[in-house]
Each structure stands twice: as C-alpha cells, then as structure tokens.
Amino acid sequence: MTKKVLKFGGTSVGSIKRIVHAAKIIKKEHENGNSIIVVVSAMAGTTNNLIEHSRSISKKFNKRELDVLLTSGEQVTSALMAGALNDIGVTARSWMSWQIPIITQGDHTNARIINMNVKKVNDYLSEGGVAVIPGFQGISKSGDITSIGRGGSDATAVAIAKIFQTDSCEIYTDVDGVYSSDPNKIPLAKKIDKISYEEMLELSSLGAKVMQSSAVQSAMMNNIPIQVKSTFTERKGTEINSEENIDYNKAVTGVAYSKDDAKITLLGVSDQPGVAADIFEPLSKNQINVDMVIQNISSDGKKTDLTFTTKRQDSSNAISLIKSNKKIKYEKMHMNDKVSKISIVGAGMVATPGITYKMFRSLAEEKINILAISTSEIKISVIINENLTIEAVKKLHRTFKLD
C-alpha cells in the first residue's frame, strides 16, 4: 500500500465549496487504495484576520498567545475537512498536534518540528481511516502550543513525509505547478515538469510563491521528492527532486524577476580593509536588507566603486544613513530606483559553457543595458532599467528555449 501526504493550501480550502472539492480529491486517492494523511492550512484570509485582531490589541502581542490564536485557523479547517470526508462516506478524523503529538523546538511563532509520535495515527491509517492534521503547528516539550512560521503548513507536510516515511508528498495549490516565470505576467512562461531543490530555492527567493523556502530546504536535506499539483485542474504538476534525479535537457530552468529594487553606487571609495563593513553596518542595524553587492578591483589600488541594491522603499533611508555617517569616505553617490533584477536559474548551467555570454548577448540584441551583474553556481542576475523588465524576461525565455 502506498502512503501519501496530501497538503492543501489556504486558497485550496478557502471556502466551503473548495473544502468539499478537496475532499473529493482525497476520496479518489483513498479509493485507489492509498493510505492518506491530509495536511491543511487555514482558510485563505483567516490567519491575516487573526493577526490583525492581535495587532489591534497590541503591537507587541504576547508570542505564546499569538500561537494559541493563530493555530485555531488550521483547527477549523481540519474539522471541516474531516467532516466533509465523513459526509461523502470516507472514514476520517482530525488529529490536533497535541493529540499526536507533534513536538517542536524553538521560539514561539518560529518553532520547528523535531519529532512526532507515529503510533496512533499509523494504527488509524491501517484501519482505513484518513488522518487530517492541521499544518503550521505543534506543541513544545512543556506542552505549549507553538507555530512554525508563515507558510508553515508546507513544512508540516514535509516533516510528516519524513517521519511517517510516506511514499510521496503532494502539495495541492492554486497554480498547477512551477513555471519558468510568473505565467500571469509572462504568458509565454511554461510549466516546468521537474526542478531541483536548489533551483526551486533560487526561484522562491526571487519571488515564485509556490512553496515555502524552508520546507523546500527540509525536503532537500531529507531527500523527499515533492509533487506540486493544482487543486483545480487535473494537469500534471511539477516534481521537485534532487539534481541527480533530473535529466537536464536545458541549461536554464526559469527566469525570475523583481521590480521593487533600487541601485545605489558609491564612486571613489577608499580601497582599504573595513570600508565595506563601515558602509553596511548602519544599514543592517536599521533592518535594511542589502541584496546584490558588486565591488570592482580598483585600478590604482586607492579608490574603488561600490554598487549595491536594496528594496526600493528602503533606498532613501539607506542614502541618508550613509550621508550622515562621517566614517564613510567617498567622492560621489548615485541612486537609481527605477531598476529591476532579472535572474536566470538552472542547475544545468554548470555543465553548459557560455550561458553568461548568451544571456548578455541576447539582452544586447534588444538594446537592454546591463547596470550590474552578480552570479552564483546556478543563477545569473543582472540589474536593468525597470521599463525593460518584461521585454528582457520574454527575450531570455526565447534565448533559452523556455517558451
């Protein structure tokens, strides 16, 4: 018998109609002879409403109680889902974290699952029952309710797949898989059949919101293949697996972009140890996230230029912090907050020479000027003028045959 984890996200259980629809998918899998553990998120909107409630009481709402508050959302969905399954003739029950129990470690609102007792749930599964488990939550060793961060239901699904040693882990969501780019904005973007954990992580960190990054990381560490599927269509989804299980016939898997960046350049910075630290320390202390950092080797050994990017909303704050810090010596500062970042991602890049050249050449063909470049093992990112974003993404799709 195949044991499966089926996880349904917030939009997949966002209304009673959708819960009933998801129950039918579960019923079908169960009738096919599979042993099923269902993981559910809170109904779309619920968690935000509860957070809003807590904030209107206090900006620093007690974190222990925030966990008690927020976990109620998944409790509601679990009960509704178990009820919906019973209604269509599937034996099912909800299992709260404390009933299993699912043990977590770490701070409130940011704990992680370290263990589960599999006995009772496994007994229930072998009697033919479907177990419905609320995602996102657990209990601490001292018996407090904990939560594992926003989007944590993905992490619950992966942890269950690992600890219950299930044969598959299927993430049902409102898109039908992972795309080479956002299909709503780039109509020629194509669904990816197979993607590696690393590529998925790069795409996630660049804005693809299909799955929570820490859950992908945990799947990678435990080598658990993930199926991303649509709750609303029957199309084949995307498999997330380790690189060795993927046949790469393309060097580039996807093109990601973000449009809310700003580029700041300091010209004529003294090229001496500690200067970069002096510049970034005040930014870090003020919670300003620095993304790309590019520093050229100075030609004369005395002065250099330093470019970095931040979120657009932080840019003016970053500039005043640098201006007001007398320790930082530079000749001129430029800022451009009308830029975007375009990244090509692909595990096949390493084995394919000339990808960088090909990327730059194809952008040049469209007369798109590259303002800054940064590369990693499986990713090349460039900064360009914002108004050319969609054109660049489309061109790169064609260049790397993603369309």
Task: Tell the smallest beta-carbon distance from residue 63 to its own copies (Å).
Answer: 9
The Cα 213–Cα 204 span in angstroms is 6
Report residue 389 as tokens.
Answer: 């974003």
Residue numbers 70-99 binding its own copies by CB under 8 A:
72, 75-76, 78-80, 82-84, 86-87, 93-94, 96, 98-99
Which region, judged by CB under 8 A, interacts with its own copies, from 64-72, 203-211, 232-240, 303-311?
A: 64-72
Residue 53 within binding range of its own copies, rule CB under 8 A: yes
The answer to whether residue 21 forms part of the interface with its own copies (CB under 8 A) is no
Contact status: 50 vs its own copies (CB under 8 A): yes
Torsion, Cα of 393, 394, 396, 400 (10° steps): 130
Does the footprint of its own copies cover residue 66 (CB under 8 A)? yes
Strands 226-230 and 168-173: parallel
Chosen residue from 1, 33, 56, 187 binding its own copies by CB under 8 A: 56
Binding mask 156-195 for its own copies (x = CB under 8 A): ----------------------------------------
Q: What amino acid is encoded at 28 in this protein?
A: K
Least spacing, CB of residue 20 vs its own copies, in Å:
6
Closest CB 22 distance from its own copies, rounded Å: 12
Q: How far is the CB of 16 from its own copies (least distance, A)?
A: 5
- Asked if 117 touches its own copies (CB under 8 A), the answer is no
DSSP string, 77-115: HHHHHHHHHHHTT--EEE--GGGTTEEEESSTTS-EEEE
Q: Does 227 bind its own copies (CB under 8 A)?
A: no
Binding of residue 208 to its own copies (CB under 8 A)? no
Which H or E run contains 20? helix 16-31
User: Is 20 a binder of its own copies (CB under 8 A)?
Assistant: yes
**Vertex 291 angle, CA 243 and 262, to 5°:** 130
Helix (H, G, I), strand (E, B) or coil at 287: coil
State how beta strands 332-345 and 254-270 pair.
Answer: antiparallel
327-330 long-range contacts (CB < 8 A, ≥24 apart) are 327/278, 328/266, 328/269, 328/275, 328/278, 328/279, 329/269, 329/270, 329/275, 330/266, 330/267, 330/268, 330/269, 330/270
Cβ proximity to its own copies: between 97 and 180 the closer is 97
Measured from the CB atom, the residue of 60 and 326 that comes closer to its own copies is: 60
CB of 7 vs its own copies, minimal distance in Å: 19
First CA to last CA distance, the chain? 39
Single residue of 16, 188, 350, 364 touching its own copies by CB under 8 A: 16
Q: Decide if residue 48 touches its own copies (CB under 8 A).
A: no
53 or 329: CB nearest its own copies: 53
Give the tokens for residue 250.
């393309």
CB of 215 to its own copies, least distance (A): 25
* Nearer CB in complex with its own copies: 145/226: 145
Does 145 participate in binding its own copies (rule CB under 8 A)?
yes
Q: Which is nearer to its own copies, 125 or 388 (CB)?
A: 125
CB 378 within 8 A of CB 345: yes
Determine, following the binding rule CB under 8 A, whether residue 260 of this chain makes contact with its own copies.
no
Number of chain residues interacting with its own copies (CB under 8 A)? 35
From residue 310, alpha-carbon distances to 81, 182, 307, 319 in Å are 42, 22, 10, 11
The answer to whether the bond into 187 is cis (omega within 30° of 0) is: no
DSSP characters for 144-194? Answer: -EEE--TTHHHHHHHHHHHHTT-SEEEEEESSSS-BSS-TTT-TT--B-SE
Q: Report the interface residues with its own copies, using CB under 8 A.
A: 16, 19-20, 50, 53-54, 56-58, 60-62, 64-66, 68-69, 72, 75-76, 78-80, 82-84, 86-87, 93-94, 96, 98-99, 143, 145
